[in-house]
């Protein structure tokens, strides 16, 4: 059974009084315990897809099904959690209180159990000993670990990650990628991962969905057939180069087309 | 405990020394009118410009010891001493503090209402924003005039409730404070409540948080820094407003004492003593609000910046670019991997 | 299909924009009408009808203007002096740490003295004329300008300075071409505070020691039981301070067309 199904989804925005087709006729499925990346040029509506699946935005056309429910119901039933580009930690809470936030918002909040689980999760993300620290005292990578622990708190079948490591430096990002894979292998969640980085997408994913821009359309759905568990050396591997190059070519042709279109529109 | 650090700073001792020297020279200089006359003629001989030292006579500017004297010891006519000043200070204090609390609580409730009711926000916010830049202190004579009129009316004279409201100036003083404090606080709290960024609200929504939870777990905390900034300003302006009202038209309070410096019964010692008390009161009030700020929002940059300011201005600590100075991380990323 | 729906929403947003200024105006107008016709004369010893106040305002316009000139004069001269000194000090602060460290504590003490306490002192030193009032206003506007300008002069990217240095720019060139322009928005932020603050300080000082000016006028109306005149003067001082605010915003738009307007706060 697929955990997420999108059928002919379209979304229109109005920007500066101009209608703007963010997504057009998008269809795909995400299976259980699958790691799927969405990649595309900036402004192609990658993040919009996540927000549509998460029920934070609503499609103008098409259907979305999350774990057999509508996105809003799925949200109410805690079927997913979000990780954003910014870690979004509340500085007025300690690290462990930040991690416990999803539980507090839950109606039936068991203080002891949630504290125990948060401690375990912090251990899982490698932040044991920082439970009582203030988020202000953490480095960028550590803040993202906390955000990840918070996302795992409700043990959701789905995790949506919106360019989570985009603001980190390359070295930290590599390590966070490895950590993410390790943590993912210990949970049973599917991950939908939006990114700018081709290498990151290939390294992490089971499948990579490539989007075009203006309008955002699905260009390709590429299965990444690389062995797991994955190690950093894989990034230098011949096979992953093949995948990266394929995606790079696709993206290049997509941006080329977009540039031609806007270029033509700009001609007198 | 950390606050005690400031006393270890060299600059604090130097500043204290400067203040003591200033007070001592004031004391000595003003012990005799001849000293002033000598200075005056000396300045005139050397620069040709005669300073207004006549106004600055021993009578007009009493020595620190005299000022202290009028506060601590009661003169035979009863116009001075602890009880006299406590009687007036009590009136000033209670009006300022009560007005401060009432005005700010109303402002906070209003801000919450406007932050949640969009049509009200659009109808009223522009008006409030305009009111904020209007000199509200100008309303003081009007309110006092209204009080005078009301206090003379028979209904007020005979009805004990109305009399307690308008018979004395206390309620009018509070009203002036409430009006002056209300608008800046309201606008700041409102903007604070609205200062959540999109990813924060998305995070809360994605966790299926109710509006109530968004308010208690996010908005209220986001509003605190701007609220405290407003409260600090309000603490200063409430003291100002009360003294203005007292100066203009009441027969009680430190502002009243200050206005009576040239009258038959009080002299400049009373004026200066009141100035000292009002200043100390204002400082304590401001300091108390800052202390509350430290307790409530220890995580916020303004508190961190304040701590730095306490240790003297550190220009290095001022941001080079717009983001606020980030505290150093506890440990490097390498140490945890 | 969806495009049509969105277009409808588009029209709605245009209407919304119109409502943005229409709503407050309607609200204010409604209040005034209520006051005029519903409250009417029933509370005339407290709230005289707006039409009467306005009428009085027109009739007394000469008296009000003559006194407003004095208040404006005091406020503007004081504001100008305070701003110039504040800017000069801020430059001193930024270029000499010793200067900053030795002056800043006293500036802090000065700020924490309430206006009401300074004026009697100034008056006993300088007499009850314009000098003491202008000095007071200058003192009141000095501090916000100083703080904001120090922030403005230092709030530049390090890279911008490094770029200028790599172009072999001298210290003064960096000051005139980078620091000063980028600090202007901060200056106007402080002017928005000190502008209305100067009017407030002028009015308060006129309450205390003056025979002329809007503040003094209000005091005499207060003791003379002239409620209508009092309301008219209040109206005048409100209009005056709004004009000052508009003037500062206007100047900001002209002088900083690149428009990095900083939010007050």
- Higher-confidence residue of B324 and C73: namely C73
Query: What residues contact residue A139 under an 8 Å CB cut-off, 6+ apart?
Result: B329, B331, B332, B333
**pLDDT for the residue A191:** 93
Instruction: Check CB contact under 8 Å for A12 and C10.
Output: no
Report pLDDT digits (tens) over B239-278.
Answer: 989 999 998 888 889 999 888 876 667 778 888 899 889 9
CB B67 within 8 A of CB B272: yes
Contact partners for chain B, using 3 or more CB pairs closer than 8 A, are A, C
- A178 half-sphere exposure, CB direction, 13 A CA radius: 12
Mean pLDDT value of segment C231-260: 86
Closest residue in A to B219 (Cα) is A90
Residues of B in contact with C125 (CB under 8 A): 52, 55-56, 61
Q: How far apart are CA B134 and CA B30, in angstroms?
A: 42
B315·C245 Cβ contact <8 A? no
* ipTM given for this complex: 0.83
Q: Compute the distance between CA of residue C232 and CA of residue C55 in angstroms, rounded to an integer.
A: 9
| Helix ranges (DSSP H) in chain C | 2-33, 50-59, 61-95, 97-112, 115-126, 130-154, 158-166, 171-174, 180-208, 214-223, 227-255
- What is the structure's pLDDT at B155? 77
Contacts of A3 (CB under 8 A, 6+ apart): A30, A31, A32, A34, A66, A67, A157, A158, A190
Q: Bigger pLDDT: B106 or A5?
A: B106
Instruction: Dump pLDDT digits (tens) for C139-196.
Output: 988 988 988 888 888 877 777 878 888 888 888 888 888 888 888 888 988 898 888 8
- What single string gives the DSSP state of each residue in B222-276? HHHHHHHHHHHHHHHHHHHHHHHHHHHH-SSSHHHHHHTTTSSS--HHHHHHHHH
C13 touching B (Cβ < 8 Å): no
pLDDT at A265: 52
pLDDT-derived band of residue C57, with 50, 70 and 90 as boundaries?
very high
Q: Does A157 have pLDDT greater than 60?
A: yes
pLDDT (0 to 100) of residue B115: 92
* Two structure tokens written together for B276: 């000292």
- When CB atoms are compared, the residue of A10, A17, A61 closest to C10 is A17
Return the higher-pLDDT residue of B220 and B166.
Answer: B220
Tokens of B65: 């010891």
Q: How far apart are CA C214 and CA C230, in angstroms?
A: 10
- B192: closest chain C residue by CA: C265
Q: What is the Cα–Cα distance from A257 to A40, expressed in whole angstroms? A: 13
Q: Do A102 and B333 touch (CB under 8 A)?
A: no
d(CA C243, CA C68): 12
Check whether B88 has a pLDDT greater than 90.
yes
Closest chain C C-alpha to A47 CA, distance in angstroms: 21
For residues A27-33, give the mean pLDDT.
89
Give yes or no for residue B21 having a pLDDT over 90: no
Instruction: Find the closest chain B residue to C26 by CA distance.
Output: B123
Cβ contact A216:A26 at 8 Å: yes
Mean pLDDT of C232-258: 88
- CB-based contact C46 B149, cutoff 8 Å: yes
Task: Answer for the pair A134, A94: CB distance below 8 angstroms, yes or no.
Answer: yes
Distances (CA, A) of B115 to B107, B133, B223, B227, C265: 12, 21, 11, 14, 18
The pLDDT tens digits for B132-163 are: 878 888 889 998 888 888 888 877 778 877 77
Contact call for residues B228 and B289 (beta carbons, < 8 A):
yes
Residues B157-214 pLDDT 10s: 788 777 777 777 888 999 999 999 999 999 999 999 998 888 899 899 888 888 889 9
Q: Which residues of A touch C3 (CB under 8 A)?
A: 12, 19
pLDDT band at C15 (very low <50, low <70, confident <90, very high): confident
- DSSP per residue, C110-138: HHHS-HHHHHHHHHHHH-SSHHHHHHHHH
| Lowest pLDDT segment from A132-136, B34-38, B235-239 | B34-38
> Among A71-85, A91-105, C97-111, whose mean pLDDT is lowest?
C97-111
* C contact residues 239-258, partner B, Cβ 8 Å cutoff: 241-242, 245
Spatial CA neighbour of A67 closest among A2, A6, A154? A2
- Cα(B50)–Cα(B42) distance, rounded to whole angstroms? 9
* pLDDT of amino acid B262: 62
Within a 10 A sphere around the Cβ of B201, how many other Cβ atoms?
16
d(C-alpha A52, C-alpha A64), whole Å: 8
Which uninterrupted H or E stretch holds A83? strand A80-83
Selection from B48-57, B173-182, C6-15 with the highest mean pLDDT = B173-182
Q: Which residue pairs from A99-105 have beta carbons closer than 8 angstroms and sit at least 24 positions apart in sequence?
A: A99/A146, A99/A149, A99/A150, A99/A153, A100/A153, A101/A150, A101/A153, A101/B207, A101/B217, A102/A78, A102/A150, A102/A153, A102/A154, A102/B207, A103/A153, A103/A154, A104/B217, A105/B204, A105/B207, A105/B208, A105/B209, A105/B210, A105/B213, A105/B217
Q: A19 and C9: CB-CB below 8 Å?
A: no
Question: What percent of chain B is modeled with pLDDT above 90?
Answer: 26
Mean pLDDT of chain B: 79
Higher pLDDT, B143 or B323: B143
- d(Cα C38, Cα C26) in Å, to the nearest integer? 17
Closest alpha carbon within chain A to C13: A17
CB contacts of A138 in chain B (<8 Å) are 329-330
Q: Please give the pLDDT value at position B165.
A: 75
Residues 6+ apart with CB under 8 A from B94: B170
For A138, left (φ over 0), alpha (ψ -120 to 50), or beta? Answer: beta
**Cβ-defined contact of C157 to B320 (cutoff 8 Å):** yes
Q: Is the pLDDT of residue A228 over 70?
A: yes
- Tokens describing residue B69: 């004297």
- CB neighbours of residue B210 within 10 Å: 11
Identify the chains in contact with C, defined as 3+ C-beta pairs within 8 A. Answer: A, B
Tokens at C32, concatenated: 């005034």
Neighbours of B51 (CB within 10 A): 15
Residue C36 pLDDT: 86
């Amino acid at each position: 059974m697929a955990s997420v199904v999108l059928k002919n989804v379209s979304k229109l925005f109005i920007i500066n009084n101009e209608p703007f087709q963010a997504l057009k006729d998008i269809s795909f499925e995400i299976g259980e315990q699958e790691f799927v990346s969405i990649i595309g040029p900036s402004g192609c509506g990658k993040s919009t897809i996540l927000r549509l699946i998460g029920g934070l935005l609503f499609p103008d056309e098409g259907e979305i099904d999350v774990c057999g429910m509508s996105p809003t119901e799925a949200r109410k039933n805690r079927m997913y959690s979000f990780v954003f580009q910014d870690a979004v930690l509340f500085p007025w809470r300690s690290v462990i209180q930040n991690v416990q936030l999803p539980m507090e918002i839950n109606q039936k909040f068991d203080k002891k159990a949630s504290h125990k689980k948060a401690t375990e999760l912090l251990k899982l993300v490698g932040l044991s000993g920082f439970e009582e620290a203030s988020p202000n005292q953490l480095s960028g990578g550590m803040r993202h670990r906390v955000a990840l622990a918070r996302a795992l708190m409700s043990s959701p079948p789905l995790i949506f990650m919106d360019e989570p490591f985009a603001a980190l430096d390359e070295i930290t990002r590599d390590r966070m990628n490895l950590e993410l894979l390790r943590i993912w292998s210990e949970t049973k969640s599917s991950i939908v991962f939006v990114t700018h980085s081709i290498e990151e997408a290939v390294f992490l994913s089971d499948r990579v969905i490539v989007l075009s821009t203006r309008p955002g359309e699905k260009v390709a759905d590429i299965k990444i057939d690389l062995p797991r568990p994955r190690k950093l050396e894989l990034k230098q591997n011949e096979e992953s180069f093949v995948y990266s190059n394929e995606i790079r070519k696709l993206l290049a042709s997509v941006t080329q087309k977009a540039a031609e279109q806007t270029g033509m529109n700009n001609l007198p | 405990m950390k606050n005690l650090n400031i006393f270890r700073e060299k600059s604090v001792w130097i500043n204290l020394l400067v203040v003591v020297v200033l007070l001592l020279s004031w004391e000595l200089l003003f012990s005799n009118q001849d000293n002033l006359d000598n200075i005056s003629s000396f300045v005139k001989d050397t620069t040709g410009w005669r300073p207004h030292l006549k106004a600055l006579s021993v009578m007009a500017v009493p020595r620190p010891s005299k000022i202290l004297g009028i506060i601590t010891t009661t003169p035979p006519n009863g116009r001075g001493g602890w009880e006299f000043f406590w009687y007036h200070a009590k009136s000033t204090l209670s009006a300022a503090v009560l007005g401060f609390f009432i005005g700010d609580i109303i402002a906070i409730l209003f801000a919450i209402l406007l932050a949640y009711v969009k049509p009200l926000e659009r109808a009223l916010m522009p008006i409030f924003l305009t009111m904020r830049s209007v000199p509200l202190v100008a309303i003081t004579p009007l309110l006092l005039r209204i009080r005078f009129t009301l206090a003379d009316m028979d209904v007020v004279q005979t009805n004990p409730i109305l009399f307690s409201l308008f018979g004395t100036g206390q309620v009018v003083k509070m009203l002036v404070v409430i009006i002056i404090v209300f608008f800046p606080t309201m606008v700041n709290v409102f903007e604070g409540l609205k200062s959540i960024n999109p990813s924060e609200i998305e995070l809360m929504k994605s966790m299926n948080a109710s509006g109530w939870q968004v308010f208690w777990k996010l908005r209220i905390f986001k509003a605190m820094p701007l609220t405290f900034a407003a409260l600090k300003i309000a603490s200063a302006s409430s003291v100002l407003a009360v003294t203005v009202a007292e100066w203009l038209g009441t027969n009680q309070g430190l502002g009243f004492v200050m206005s009576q410096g040239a009258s038959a019964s009080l002299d400049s010692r009373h004026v200066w003593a009141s100035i000292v008390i009002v200043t100390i009161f204002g400082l304590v009030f401001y300091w108390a609000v800052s202390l509350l700020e430290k307790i409530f929002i220890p995580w916020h940059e303004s508190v961190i910046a304040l701590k730095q300011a306490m240790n003297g201005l550190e220009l290095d600590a001022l941001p080079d670019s717009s983001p606020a100075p980030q505290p150093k991380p506890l440990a490097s990323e390498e140490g945890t991997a | 299909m969806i495009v049509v729906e969105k277009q409808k929403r588009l029209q709605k947003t245009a209407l919304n924009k119109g409502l943005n200024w229409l709503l407050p105006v309607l609200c204010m107008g409604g209040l005034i009408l209520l006051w005029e016709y519903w409250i009417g004369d029933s509370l005339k010893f407290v709230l005289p009808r707006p039409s009467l106040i306005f009428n009085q305002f027109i009739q007394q316009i000469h008296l009000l203007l003559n006194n407003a000139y004095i208040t404006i004069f005091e406020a503007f001269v004081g504001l100008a002096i305070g701003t110039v000194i504040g800017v000069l000090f801020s430059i001193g602060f930024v270029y000499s740490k010793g200067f900053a460290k030795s002056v800043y504590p006293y500036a802090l003490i000065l700020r924490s003295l309430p206006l009401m306490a300074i004026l009697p002192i100034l008056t006993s030193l300088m007499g009850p004329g314009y000098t003491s009032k202008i000095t007071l206003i200058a003192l009141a506007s000095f501090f916000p300008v100083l703080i904001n300008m120090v922030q403005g002069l230092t709030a530049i990217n390090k890279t911008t300075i490094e770029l200028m240095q790599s172009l072999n720019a001298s210290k003064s060139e960096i000051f005139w071409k980078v620091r000063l322009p980028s600090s202007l928005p901060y200056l106007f932020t402080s002017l928005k505070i000190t502008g209305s603050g100067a009017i407030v300080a002028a009015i308060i000082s006129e309450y205390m020691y003056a025979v002329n000016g809007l503040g003094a006028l209000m005091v005499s109306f207060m003791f003379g039981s002239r409620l209508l005149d009092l309301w008219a003067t209040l109206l005048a001082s409100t209009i005056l301070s709004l004009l000052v605010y508009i003037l500062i915003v206007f100047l900001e738009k002209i002088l900083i067309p690149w428009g990095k307007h900083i939010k007050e706060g």
